[in-house]
Each structure stands twice: as structure tokens, then as C-alpha cells.
Amino acid sequence: MSASEKTGVTAPAGFSAAATTAGIKPSGKPDLALVVNHGPRFDAAAVTTRNKVVASPVKVTRDAMTTGSLAAVVFNSGNANACNGRQGDVDAVEMQSLAAQSIGVAPEDVAVCSTGLIGELMPMDKVRAGIETLGGQLGDNGHEAAVAILTTDTVEKQALVERDGWSIGGMAKGVGMMAPSLATMLVCLTTDADVSAGELDQVLKEASKSTFNTLDIDGATSTNDTVILMASGASGVQPDKSEFAGAIGEICAFLADQLQADAEGVTKRVAVTVEGTADDEQALNAARTIGRDNLFKCAMFGSDPNWGRVLAAVGMADAEMDPDNISVYFNGQPVCEGSTGAPGAREVDLSGIDVDVRVDLGTGGPGTATVRTTDLSYAYVEINSEYST
């Protein structure tokens, strides 16, 4: 994508970005980026990992978010700066300070996002030299920033949602929020709409719930996951609250789609919808249990309409069900009705990339939820068994 096709974090008015190769990654690929909000407003919101083991940059970002405003986010790939003890905290704070200094703002106005290997100290000499160059290279470099945050991703992920006089841009890397693969999920959203920090917070949490938080690639959750939303107000437009929420939901969904499509080793994109539970939470529990079941995921890899694995998996879920009245549909075709195989169930064609699985747990309740996952392939094992060695 050429920089002239406006998309990504620098598309909305009031934002610039820079990226560089600091040498953190052994591959020699870009690994440092800065996204700057030039105002006039600096409202911001963030959603961070639920993991109890929290990386140093996430601690710094959480502290920075207490004011509800940000002037910039500094990103690095190639090193997660997680599990590095006191030195990790010191290094994350220094990254924050250096980035703030390079654009002339206070340290507490800068968030820090890191992604890469856990338990390696940041090569701070390289990071210092890299950040120093970023301040002087700010411009319409959303694409370059989107490239610099990638780790095992095979393609950069950008998005733009345009409305009447204002827009939302975004970039992302990784695979999933509550459950990303080793690739931490980092998302940065920018908007020139004039929206308060409180509204940003509310809208971002709501949108994350049905997009990033239901993207469940392998049940793992990174120490570094972060989604940040910054608003410059540069358009001068104060959008209607529901219109803004809709646009944020749209860009989150679009980026989540790109994350799912590029998940490690993916050959199938699988949407698991559960219904017929007492409430949505039970449906979500059940959908996650199916989506995380390795036997089910292997069957998807094999394009195998093995609905028995869906029943065996869901039977362990923390959800009420009628074990004798469960129905399963693959790509809209019934494969199991009344907990028994439907005619032609073994012949259902799952050879396409997208597989839609719908499961009715048979209690007649109104609960429903969808989780998106992927298959479990040889490539997943290959990528994840050879990462740090």
C-alpha cells in the first residue's frame, strides 16, 4: 500500500508518525515507531491485558492513562520487555521519557507498547539512538509505523473508517486480545473527532468486548496486550455518540478480521456461535471452550466435519445445557440434532477457508455469543516451537 492511499493512524487530522530500524530485531527489520497526536485535544483511552503477569511497558501505559490524555505512543517490536524485573520498569520509563523529550511533551503524556520475546533485557543503547531519530522524522508515516510493530505477522494491518468530516484510523499487530498467540496484540486507533476521554473509554471497552476480546486463537493471553485510542479533535466535529460508537465498532471489527486472517499458522477462519443458553455469558463460555479445544481445531485443519468433537468439547463448558438436545450446524447445514448425527453429516464440505459453526445447547434460553478462532495446523506448531531458539 502506498502512503498516498490515505489509511492507518496518520489518516485522521492531527496525527503524525515515524518509524525506524533500531536494531532490536535480529532480522534487521523496522522495530521502533512513534505515533503523535498534535491536538488540539489529547483525550485518550486504553484497554490492557488481563494477565496477572504484566510487562513493564503496560505498567507505564496504565500510569499514563490515569489522566485520560496522551500526546503520543512509542512502540517497539522484537522485545516484550516483560519479566525483566526492576530493570524492565526502568527501561520502559526511560523509553517514555526519551519519546516525550523528542517531541517536547511531558513523560506522563506518552504511552509505551512493546512486543517480542519475554525475559530479555531491552538493548537500551539501540533503543535510545532509535528514539532520538524518531522525533525528527514525523510525518504521514502510518504505513511505516504499522510495519515497524510487526513480529510474526506476515502482513501489516491498517484500517480507516470515514464519516462526515471526521475519521478513525488504526493499525494492529498480533492475534487476539484476551487470547493472543505469542504475538502480543497491539492496536492503535486515532481519530480527529472531538470526543471526551470518558466517552472514548466507554466506547473502546464496549467495542473491544465483541471484537478483540472474542478473537481467541489459542487460549493464551499476552503480558503486553494493549489497545489505545487517541482523539485529536482536529476535525472540529463532535459526532453523535451512537454514530461514534458505531464507527469505533466498525474499525475494531475490521482490524480484528485482519488479525484473525493472519493468525499464526492459520489455514481456516472459524466462527463459533453458541445459542440456546440462559444468558450471553454462558454462551460465551461455551463458544470459548469449543474454540480452544485442540481436537476440534485439528478437525477444522483437516476439513473434517467431526461434530462429535464439538459435543465432547462443549460438554466440559461452564454453561447449562440439555445434553440430549444439542444441535450443531456446519456452514448452515445441520450435522447434529437432538445430540445425534443428522443425515449426511459426514459429507458436509468444509474445504473452504471460512467455517461457520453454530451450536444450540437446547435449553431454549435467549443467550448467544460468537467467538472467532482458527484451526490448529502444522504451521502453528512450527512457528511456535522455533520462536526463541
Give the nearest distance from C-beta 231 to a copy of itself in angstroms.
Answer: 31
Stretch that binds a copy of itself, among 64-72, 99-107, 214-222, 230-238 (CB under 8 A): 214-222
Work out how close the CB of 377 gets to a copy of itself at its nearest, in angstroms, rounded to a whole number. Answer: 6
Cell matching residue 332: 448452515
CB 216 within 8 A of CB 270: no
Instruction: Return the half-sphere exposure (C-beta side, CA atoms, 13 A cut-off) of residue 55.
Output: 31
**For a copy of itself, which residue of 43, 153, 218, 262 counts as binding (CB under 8 A)?**
218
> Rule CB under 8 A: is residue 307 a binding residue for a copy of itself?
yes
**Among 40, 165, 236, 323, which residue interacts with a copy of itself (rule: CB under 8 A)?**
323
Distance CA 389, CA 387 (A): 6
Q: Which helix (H) or strand (E) holds 158?
A: strand 157-162
**34, 100, 128, 265 from 144: Cα distances, Å:** 10, 20, 19, 24
Q: How far is CA 305 from CA 12, 189, 291, 324, 328, in A?
A: 45, 38, 15, 20, 11
The answer on whether 389 is annotated among ligand-binding residues is yes
**For a copy of itself, the closer CB: 19 or 217:** 217
Nearest distance in Å: CB 339, a copy of itself? 5
Residue 121 Cβ, how far from a copy of itself at the closest point, in Å?
8
For residue 241, state whether it binds a copy of itself (rule: CB under 8 A). Answer: no
Q: Does the annotation list 5 as a binding residue?
A: no
Count of residues that bind a copy of itself according to CB under 8 A: 68
79 binds a copy of itself (CB under 8 A): no
Nearer to a copy of itself by Cβ, of 49 and 102: the residue is 49
**Which residue in the list 10, 152, 184, 273 is annotated as catalytic?**
184
Q: Rounded to an integer, what is the distance from CA 165 to the centroid of its chain?
A: 27
H/E element holding 35? strand 32-37
| Residues whose CB is less than 8 angstroms from the CB of residue 13 and which lie 6 or more positions away in sequence, other chains included | 192, 232, 234, 235
User: CA 255, 159, 34: angle at the middle one, nearest 5?
Assistant: 95
Spatial separation of the C-alpha atoms in residues 216 and 234, rounded to whole Å: 35
Known catalytic residue at 191: no
Per CB under 8 A, 378 contacts a copy of itself: yes
x/- contact string, 135-174, with a copy of itself (CB under 8 A)? ----------------------------------------
Of 188, 195, 203, 250, give the one whose Cα is nearest residue 15. Answer: 188
By the rule CB under 8 A, 53 interacts with a copy of itself: yes
User: Taking contact as CB under 8 A, which single stretch among the options 228-236, 249-257, 305-313, 365-373 is the one that binds a copy of itself?
Assistant: 305-313
Q: Between 106 and 353, whose beta carbon lies closer to a copy of itself?
A: 353
Q: Do the annotations mark residue 384 as ligand-binding?
A: yes
Q: How many residues does the chain have?
A: 389
Provide the minimum distance between the beta carbon of 291 and a copy of itself in the complex, in angstroms, as a whole number.
12
344 in contact with a copy of itself (CB under 8 A): no
Interactions with a copy of itself, residue window 105-134 (CB under 8 A):
117-120
Q: Are 73 and 110 in contact (CB under 8 A)?
A: yes
Phi-psi bin for 163: left (phi > 0), alpha (psi -120 to 50), beta? beta
370 annotated among ligand-binding-site residues: no
Omega before 305 cis (within 30°)? no
Question: With contact defined as beta carbons under 8 Å apart, do 228 and 384 qualify?
Answer: no
Binding-site members are 151, 173, 184, 264, 384, 389
Active site residues: 184
Contacts to a copy of itself by CB under 8 A: 50-54, 80, 82-85, 87-88, 117-120, 181-182, 218-223, 292-295, 298-299, 301-304, 306-309, 311-317, 321, 323-324, 326, 336, 338-341, 345-346, 376-378, 380-382, 384-389
List residues forming the annotated binding site for substrate.
151, 173, 184, 264, 384, 389
